[in-house]
């Protein structure tokens, strides 16, 4: 590694960034990646740190720190969500941006990877504070984003409304409506059908392929889902519709367990009536901890909360057959080895959760063409792209004797490497 570039980025040197780099290093080693590219791809192309002053409802001004990191743009505009969470830092955003690059390349979208975030607990802000924060953050990252440059989307702690405010702020600056500057928008301003559930739907599609491959019948499958945000709640709903029994779900405060299967639609009804309700308040199952949920005897475990949940501390207790990574980076490299040893079939994050960015791509295409598709077109095309990516990865993994994670990373990295080599080094 050229020590100068690497040494100057200690701000990025957090555990999540180290995980992303360690995964990359391992894949780069296995595929014998050109060392010049290796140095470049370890670090983001461009990173922006912004201060976001916000007038709070009580008249005081609070300053939040925000980020937008573009990891690579060799194959097209960079793409990736915006996260609002108190734990956000440059290293985490840089890691997530790198994963977006491999994800988009793996499933064949004409995008590079990016990610953004603001270090804030959004549930502690009023709606108008959230709007002012979002608009000022959007104004601060304005020079970097645009439909042909970098296209944000929702991630942890953000949603369609936040995207609408970003779209409006951007459009006000340029003087006309630019729907394609963000994806995951409301339908009324150029959003697409099926985007909200897309990540969960993708998780289900690839899990069904994995079950077919392993000879597991869906009717006999039990599923535990960690995290009940956008990804977890839709995964649980769609997985149940597909015929599986959802035996546990959790939020940050704890998990609900019912071996006979939880009534997910009913649970969602209670949960959504009051934005502040916790799963445990619904009293719809036995209360267990998040740690206990990860250790449940089940067919499929879906970590769909934050990163580094399955570590060398608890990997040994994991008992699932299939690990479908709905979250980004939920498993550490040490845990990976333990799970592989135990024979767990891992559907790695950049494949398992790619449904979100796949349907974001559909939204961007529709915005660009000003021509909108039916719900069925979206589901069919998502199914086609994600299942093909699953089978390509499975085949690659068998041919190369590599794990599913390494196979997915190597395929993604290889496409990016080819783009760099074809374009050459500027100047």
> Rule CB under 6 A: which residues touch ligand GLU?
79-81, 153, 155, 183, 328, 353, 356-357, 360
Rounded to the nearest 5°, which phi and psi values hold at 13?
Answer: -75, 70
Provide CB contacts within 8 A for 20, sequence distance 6+: 94, 95, 96, 98, 99, 329
The sign of the torsion formed by the CA atoms of 337, 97, 45, 78 equals positive
Peptide bond between residue 427 and the one before it cis (omega within 30 degrees of 0):
yes
Q: Is 342 a catalytic residue?
A: no
Q: How far is the CB of 372 from ligand GLU (least distance, A)?
A: 18
CA distance readout (Å), 270 to 226, 235, 273: 18, 18, 6
Q: Which is nearer to ligand GLU, 262 or 323 (CB)?
A: 323
Q: How far is the CB of 44 from ligand GLU (least distance, A)?
A: 16
Q: Which is nearer to ligand GLU, 199 or 237 (CB)?
A: 199
The sign of the torsion formed by the CA atoms of 14, 103, 422, 27 equals positive
Q: How far is the CB of 52 from ligand GLU (least distance, A)?
A: 20
Q: Which is nearer to ligand GLU, 233 or 360 (CB)?
A: 360
Contact 327, 232 (CB under 8 A): no
The span from the CA of 331 to the CA of 306, in Å, is: 10
Contact 321, 214 (CB under 8 A): yes
**Order of strands, sheet of 322-324, starting from the edge strand that comes earlier in the sequence:** 286-288, 254-257, 245-251, 222-226, 300-303, 322-324, 345-347
CB atoms within 10 A of CB 95: 29
Catalytic residue among 79, 103, 115, 321: 115
Chain residue at closest Cβ approach to ligand GLU: 81
Q: Which two tokens stand for residue 102?
A: 């491999």
The span from the CA of 116 to the CA of 200, in Å, is: 21
Q: Which is nearer to ligand GLU, 169 or 360 (CB)?
A: 360
Q: Which two tokens stand for residue 109?
A: 């979208």
Q: How far is the CB of 406 from ligand GLU (least distance, A)?
A: 20
Q: Which is nearer to ligand GLU, 117 or 285 (CB)?
A: 117
Q: Which is nearer to ligand GLU, 38 or 119 (CB)?
A: 119
Q: How far is the CB of 328 from ligand GLU (least distance, A)?
A: 5
- 62 beta partners: 54
Q: How far is the CB of 94 from ligand GLU (least distance, A)?
A: 14
Q: Which is nearer to ligand GLU, 182 or 338 (CB)?
A: 182
Q: What share of the chain is helix, strand, coil (3-state, %, to 5)?
A: 50, 15, 30
Q: How far is the CB of 89 from ligand GLU (least distance, A)?
A: 17
**DSSP state at residue 9:** T
The span from the CA of 396 to the CA of 403, in Å, is: 9
User: So which residues are the catalytic ones?
Assistant: 115
């Amino acid at each position: 590694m050229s020590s100068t570039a690497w040494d100057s980025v200690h701000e990025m040197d957090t555990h999540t960034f180290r995980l992303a780099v360690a995964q990359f290093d391992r894949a780069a080693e296995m595929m014998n990646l050109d060392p010049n590219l290796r140095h470049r791809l370890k670090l983001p192309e461009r990173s922006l740190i912004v201060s976001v002053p916000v007038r709070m409802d009580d008249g005081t001004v609070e300053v939040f720190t925000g980020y937008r990191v573009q990891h690579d743009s060799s194959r097209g505009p960079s793409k990736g969500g915006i996260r609002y969470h108190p734990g956000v830092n440059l290293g985490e955003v840089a890691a997530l941006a790198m994963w977006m690059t491999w994800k988009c390349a793996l499933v064949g979208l004409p995008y590079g990877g990016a990610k953004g975030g603001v270090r804030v607990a959004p549930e502690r802000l009023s709606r108008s504070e959230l709007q002012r924060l979002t608009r000022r953050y959007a104004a601060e990252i304005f020079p970097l984003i645009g439909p042909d440059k970098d296209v944000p989307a929702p991630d942890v702690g953000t949603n369609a409304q936040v995207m609408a405010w970003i779209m409006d702020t951007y459009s006000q600056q340029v003087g006309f409506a630019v729907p394609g500057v963000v994806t995951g928008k409301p339908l009324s301003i150029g959003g697409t059908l099926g985007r909200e559930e897309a990540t969960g739907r993708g998780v289900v599609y690839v899990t069904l392929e994995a079950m077919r491959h392993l000879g597991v019948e869906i009717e006999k499958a039990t599923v535990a889902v960690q995290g009940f945000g956008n990804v977890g709640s839709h995964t649980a709903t769609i997985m149940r519709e597909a015929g599986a029994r959802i035996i546990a779900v959790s939020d940050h405060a704890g998990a609900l367990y019912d071996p006979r299967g939880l009534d997910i639609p009913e649970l969602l009804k209670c949960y959504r009536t009051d934005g502040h309700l916790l799963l445990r308040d619904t009293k719809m199952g036995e209360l267990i901890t998040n740690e206990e949920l990860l250790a449940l005897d089940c067919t499929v475990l879906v970590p769909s909360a934050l990163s580094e949940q399955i570590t060398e501390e608890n990997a040994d207790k994991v008992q699932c057959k299939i690990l479908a990574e709905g979250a980004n980076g939920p498993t550490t490299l040490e845990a990976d080895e333990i799970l592989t040893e135990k024979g767990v079939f891992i559907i790695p994050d950049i494949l398992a959760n790619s449904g979100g960015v796949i349907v974001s791509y559909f939204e961007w295409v529709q915005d660009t063409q000003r021509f909108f598709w039916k719900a069925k077109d979206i589901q069919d095309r998502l199914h086609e792209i994600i299942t093909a990516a699953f089978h390509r990865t499975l085949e690659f993994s068998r041919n190369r004797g590599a794990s599913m994670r390494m196979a997915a990373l190597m395929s993604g990295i290889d496409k990016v490497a080819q783009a760099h080599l074809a374009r050459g080094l500027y100047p």
